[in-house]
Amino acid sequence: MRSWLSRSHSGVREVAAIAFLYGLYEVVRGAGGENVEAARQNTADIVALEQAAGVYVERGVQESFEAIPFAPATLGLAYVLLHFVGTAVALVWVHRRHPDRFPLVRTTFIASTALALVGYVLYPAAPPRLAELGFSDTVTSSTGLDLSSDLLGALYNPFAAVPSLHFGYALIVGAVLVAIASQRAWRITGVLYPAAMLVIIVATGNHFVVDAALGGLVVVVGWMAARWLVAPVAASRTRLALADCPQT
């Protein structure tokens, strides 16, 4: 496994592997029994923690954006598209332009997702929009995509909100842009992207600030695990060079 993770494979193989792992993740995430009362109690604990820390700002943030024309619809679309399309574009870019960096980036995504799945199973939590705290489901109301529909409910567990992988994935993408993008504009985008995603997930009623913070922690631990799993770039190149040498 370490040998496979330490190499950048063909686009078809990488897409197939990531699609399989993400599909498995969604199945396991959605297969957990939904204990609504436990999830809402855990959410109540999160709210109490934020209130004690003075960072319970989510309702005010949502109300501020609801007062701006077209903002709820824009943020709702961004919530859906950036998580999937933005992440996919970033992975393709790294795979094609920086194949030597791709193994670490890809493995960070995999490790972070696996760690988040443990959190979903052990600590079910309702997102703000389902916590009966006065939050609006702006994605459903503004985009027509019902996050609580029977179809989507069969694909994911709506009470798997902690940690926030929307923020976690955005943090990985942002860090990658800052670390390897050659143009200053893209590095600035990398700095702003996680902050923008934080605003999006809060304003749409899908996550609390604590969810995002735990998503960031999961990414840090996932990156550390990836550093251990993926062989150093120099060592990988040396092995490839030796493999290409004619045998005598």
106-155, pLDDT tens digit by residue? Answer: 999 999 999 998 888 889 898 999 888 888 888 777 766 655 554 455 55
pLDDT beyond 90 at 173 = yes
Within a domain: residue 18? no
Within a domain: residue 243? no
Closest listed residue to residue 103, CA positions, set 234, 1, 8: 8
Within a domain: residue 183? yes
Q: Rounded to an integer, what distance in angstroms lies between the CA atom of residue 104 and that of residue 125?
A: 30
**Percent of the chain, pLDDT > 90?**
47
Within a domain: residue 100? yes
Within a domain: residue 21? no
What does pLDDT average to over the chain? 83
Q: Rounded to an integer, what distance in angstroms lies between the CA atom of residue 143 and that of residue 122?
A: 31
Which two structure tokens, joined as six digits, stand for 111?
A: 């490790």
Q: Which residue has the higher pLDDT, 77 or 140?
A: 77
Please give the pLDDT value at position 140: 78
Please give the pLDDT value at position 199: 96
Which two structure tokens, joined as six digits, stand for 168?
A: 């976690």
Find residue 125's DSSP bridge partners: 160
Q: Rounded to an integer, what distance in angstroms lies between the CA atom of residue 33 and that of residue 150?
A: 15
Please give the pLDDT value at position 239: 45
Please give the pLDDT value at position 148: 57
Q: Report pTM.
A: 0.84
Closest listed residue to residue 103, CA positions, set 214, 202, 234: 234
Within a domain: residue 2? no
| Least confident range of 1-5, 35-39, 75-79 | 1-5
Number of domains in the chain: 1
Within a domain: residue 88? yes
pLDDT beyond 70 at 248 = no
Please give the pLDDT value at position 203: 94
Within a domain: residue 24? no
CA distances (Å), origin 34, targets 19, 39, 125, 164:
25, 8, 10, 18
Integer-rounded Cα Rg, in Å, for the chain is: 20
Q: Which residues constitute the domain of residue 196?
A: 34-238
